Copies of this chain bind each other. A is one copy, B any other.
Amino acid sequence: MTAADTTVNESRERLLDTAQHLFHQRGFKAVTMQQIARELGVKQASLYYHVPDGKEQLFVEVTTRSFEQHRQGLQAAIDSVGPGFAEQLAAAARWFASQPPISLMGMVYADMPALSDRNTQRLEGVAYRCLFEPIATMFREASMRGEICPMHPDLLAGSFLALMDGITYASSNQQASPPRAAMGEAIVSLLLDGLRPRAENNGAMTYALSEN
């Protein structure tokens, strides 16, 4: 515990990565320490050497880590394209499409209720700060610059997150679904221009109706 604090701990990192992957794919309750151990090729009890505080703490740690990564990547993506809102929204969508799914709504539905109140509150706070806040700020600033119609930034941020979360569902569930990046682009243009045909149709629409 003393020297390992500073040293890069290879085994522990592998454990966290594996747990993160499994948890975010199947949920806290559905994943057992047994399964994580099997994936790593060790015995279940051996995990507790690296994670002495147990399964719930492990979940909180990897989820927090994942959300922090999203905050950083999301902010970098938004900042990388300058102050135009349409570009920022597209950059945010590309970021989500490039990342492994988070199933935010699934977590709230199934994982949070299984955690202690303290951990639920903590994770909700992290989710707010890392995912909701950066996006709401983007909408709020665009609104103040007059680039978008004045709608409640919180509602827009929640809608955007729900849509990004939904891309996961569609692409895992549907047979022969389009790539996630293309779905992200289509959703961005939907959010920008809406469904109603415009007089000045400048061809921003992708994803035209094919068959079915």
Contact = CB atoms under 8 A, between A and B. Distances in A.
A200 B194 CA distance: 14
Interface string A9-39: 0000000000000000011011000000000
B29 A209 contact: no
Contact of A105 (B152, B165, B205): B165
A194 B205 contact: no
Contact of A103 (B109, B149, B170): B109
Contacts of A159: 163, 166, 187, 190
Contacts of A178: 152, 155
Given A154-B174, A192-B195, A111 B108 contact: no
Contacts of A152: 178, 186, 207-210
A192 B76 CA distance: 30
Contacts of A162: 162-163, 165-166, 169
B186 A196 contact: no
A159 to B, nearest CB: 6
Interface in A160-212: 161-163, 165-166, 169-170, 172-174, 178, 183, 186-187, 190-201, 205, 207-210, 212
A169 B108 contact: yes
Contacts of A192: 194-196
Interface residues of A, number: 65
Contact of A30 (B114, B183, B195): B114
A100 interface: no
Contacts of A155: 170, 178, 183, 186-187, 207
11 contacts: A26-B109, A29-B110, A110-B111, A140-B212, A147-B196, A149-B201, A155-B186, A158-B174, A159-B187, A159-B190, A163-B163
Closest 8 CB pairs of A and B: A162-B166, A106-B109, A194-B194, A110-B110, A27-B110, A148-B195, A193-B194, A150-B209
